Amino acid sequence: MKILVINSGSSSIKYQLFDMTDKTVLASGLLQQIGESQSRLTHHTRNPRGELEEIVETGHIANHRQGFQLIGIVLQKSGAIDDTAELSGIGHRVVHGGEEFHEPTLINQKVIDTIRRLIPLAPLHNPANLLGIEVAIESAAAVPQVAVFDTAFHQSIPIHAFRYAIPQDLYEAHRVRRYGFHGTSHFYVAKQAATFLNRSLKSLNLITLHLGNGASVAAVKDGKSIDTSMGMTPLEGLIMGTRSGDIDPAIIFYLGRQTGLGRDQVESILNKHSGLKGICGVNDMREIGELAQAGNAQARLAIEMVCYRIKKYIGAYYAVLGQLDALVFTGGIGENASFIRAGSCQGLSHLGIEVDPEKNNIRSKAAFEIQSEDSPVNVLVIPTNEELEIAEETVATLKRNL
Ligand code: ADP
């Protein structure tokens, strides 16, 4: 059973082709710089001997339609598929499902119209996701397609946690509320944590920390998300690569008055020039780790601020959950930056969270635990796999609907 997973961005298309009988990746690729003079497709296929073969195509790809055509050609040329008829389904990552989508959904015209109606909530992401869906339907009309929403896992958050304390009519008219993102990743690692701990997900209380370029934390009670740090948009919450995370909202108006910067400029500063980049000039945590080791004071400050913010959320979500089975680190930083894991958990032994420095230094592509012998709370490092989760949810949705 072959499932193609598509993550269509504004100038890029990422894809993975899975054989869901054994969950192996048959092919994967990334088309970048769509619309620019030198677009670049890097494609990998696993050959019958299990080796990865690379194909690189460069040239001008004017739009997503041409991009999909090229991906189709390369998928065939590499032997990954001969015909789209071999696909059992296509799963699309869709960033914003608003209040309308609580679970992955089989795509039809009504679903497309609803995703389009949600564009004001995610103006950077939903149009590109939608384009991916429309072009995929054009190229493979007979293949069922499923939308998997970043927001869906967080639709279980109760109203007292998702409402902002702003006038009711603004919530009702403009749906200003917390939605949360990275839901596919939080759900995936929560399920993996249950497997690792040999428990049912329904019996577990977890704090899941997805720390990548974007970062968010979720409080998971009895297997369901009950709060998360990203809000109406991915700007709220933890300190990220280039996003500020939580700030006093009055800063926006103050900056406007003091500097004469317009609304869009301030928005761009908070999204693209803040976070790690704003603090120390670099947004890559690996590089920041190296700078900090070499004694760079701003890099050290960035790490301290990141860990302090994470720690505050751990404390808040622990209080909300009441009892905690495991803290789960994932994402490029969560999986690899042991100094961020150590710093975030430092001084939390009174909460039953203690990291063993030696276990924390293990490097592994599989899930591993890093809590000390006496730590009542498990601390886990679990690699995320959003593409596989989308593929699995696509299969489950097809089974439910067809
Ligand atoms: P995205 O949100 O774009 O998917 P990732 O989840 O890949 O991002 O995370 C990217 C972040 O992970 C970057 O800040 C990168 O520096 C960091 N990272 C990756 N490997 C390491 C490592 N070995 N040590 C520290 N940071 C790392």
Task: Report the candidate in 380, 368, 373 with the shortest Cα–Cα distance to residue 326.
Answer: 380
Q: Which atom of ligand 1 is nearest to the CA of 214?
A: 2
The residue nearest atom 23 of ligand 1, judged by CA position, is 336
CA distance 354 to 170: 43
Please give the residue range of the domain that contains residue 220. 198-386
What total of structural domains would you count in the chain? 2
Domain contains 116: yes
State in Å: Cα 365 to ligand 1 middle: 14
Ligand 1 pocket residue status of 12, Cβ below 6 Å: no
CA distance 98 to 257: 33
pLDDT band at 305 (very low <50, low <70, confident <90, very high): very high
pLDDT digits (tens, 9 = 90+) for 126-170: 999 999 999 999 989 999 999 999 999 999 999 999 999 999 999
CA distance 116 to 126: 7
Strands lying side by side in the sheet with 13-19? 52-59, 39-46, 24-32, 13-19, 2-8, 87-94, 145-149, 105-106
Tokens in use for 331?
A: 């994402």
Kindly tell me if the per-residue pLDDT of 402 is higher than 80.
Answer: no
What SS3 state is found at 229? coil
Domain contains 166: no
- Are residues 12 and 105 part of one domain? yes
Other CB atoms within 10 Å distance of the CB of residue 4: 28
The residue nearest atom 4 of ligand 1, judged by CA position, is 212
Ligand 1 pocket test target in 271, 288, 291, 336 with most atoms within 8 Å of CB: 336
State in Å: Cα 151 to ligand 1 middle: 22
State in Å: Cα 206 to ligand 1 middle: 22
CA distance 131 to 117: 14
Kindly tell me if the per-residue pLDDT of 399 is higher than 90.
Answer: yes
Kindly tell me if the per-residue pLDDT of 179 is higher than 90.
Answer: yes
Look at residue 10 in the predicted model and tell me its pLDDT: 85
Task: Report the pLDDT averaged over residues 24-53.
Answer: 92
State in Å: Cα 43 to ligand 1 middle: 21
Ligand 1 pocket test target in 286, 381, 389 with most atoms within 8 Å of CB: 286
pLDDT band at 87 (very low <50, low <70, confident <90, very high): very high
CATH number of the domain to which 21 belongs: 3.30.420.40
Kindly tell me if the per-residue pLDDT of 124 is higher than 90.
Answer: no
- Are residues 134 and 11 part of one domain? yes
pLDDT digits (tens, 9 = 90+) for 197-212: 999 999 999 999 999 9
Ligand 1 pocket residue status of 303, Cβ below 6 Å: no
Domain contains 164: no
Ligand 1 pocket residue status of 334, Cβ below 6 Å: no
Q: Considering 114, 149, 184, which residue would you say is the last residue of a domain?
A: 149
Tokens 């049912």 map to which residue?
A: 200
